[in-house]
Structure 1
Amino acid sequence: MKKELCIRAFRSACQAYGMILHSDRGSQFTSSAFRKLLAQYGAVQSMSGTGRCYDNARMESFFATLKKEKLYRIRTERIPMTQVKSIVFRYIMTYYNRKRIYTANPGGLPPAMYRQAARGLAA
């Protein structure tokens, strides 16, 4: 993964969400270009501790699932980046969040359904 990809992804996410970014200690995340960008946006950078692979285990697991269930099944190098983004977006928003059984949640509820159920209990 290149630092330019991280920079583009951060700019895109920063417009819609909060200002905390957690990553491992990869060179793309510790590069001066990326750190300057974070400072421009007033973002807080959070990094896993050295040798502490479990700090970001939930996201590592998610990306492994995304690759295994979707990306490794298609020839992403042969289709435009915009189409790959669309495929990933649809996978997350229509399948992963709404239909896929999620063993970390009680009853195996997908994330969106679990949030709805939790809100109902809190009301």
Structure 2
Amino acid sequence: MGSYITVMLTQYTSEAYKLELARRHAIQSMSGVGKCYDNARMESFFATLKKEKLYRIDTTKLKREEVKKIVWRFIVYYNRRRITTMNPKGYPPAIYRELFETGLSKPAA
């Protein structure tokens, strides 16, 4: 497993890879220093979106705009209503951020 991670990291931090991204006007989601965990929170969100919403409906029978609405509604729900284990009191992300920014909550350790 360790050698696989090393190969993966060197592949995605290589100069050739960075040049190809630049050629295509793409932005690398992993930092240039090889921290493969940079995107972990987004990967977790997408996994949750799939498990809790998309895998429970047959999106092949829906129009693209209908799926976009479903995804948007889930994002609003996730950020404003869904409890989480990412902070001590289980606040949804947007609520926790608002409390943190107003000084009513301390950052999660």
Fold shared per TM-score above 0.5: yes
Aligned residues of 1:38 and 1:45 also touching (Cα < 8 A): no
Matched, 1:118 2:106: no
Matched, 1:78 2:61: yes
| 5+ residue gaps, structure 1 | 1-24
Query: In proportion to residue count, which structure has more strand?
Result: 1
Cα offsets for 1:36-76 (capped at 9, x unmatched) = 4527xxxx534363xx6533221111111000000000001
Identity of aligned residues (%): 58
The corresponding residue for 1:106 is: 88
Consecutive unaligned residues of structure 2, counting only runs of 5 or more, are: 1-11, 105-109
Q: Which amino acid aligns with 2:102?
A: G
The whole-number CA distance in structure 1 between the counterparts of 2:38 and 2:101 is 27
Match of 1:97 among 79, 82, 93: 79
Which residue does 2:30 correspond to in 1?
47
> What is the one-letter code of the residue matched to 2:51?
K
CA contact (8 A) 2:84 2:90 kept: yes
Q: How many residues align?
A: 87
Partner amino acid for 1:47?
M
If asked which structure has higher relative contact order (CA below 8 Å, sep 6+), I would say: 1
Amino acid at match of 1:114: Y
Equivalent pair of 1:102/1:108 in contact (CA under 8 Å):
yes
The letter of the residue matching 2:99 is: A
Q: CA deviation at 1:106?
A: 2.4
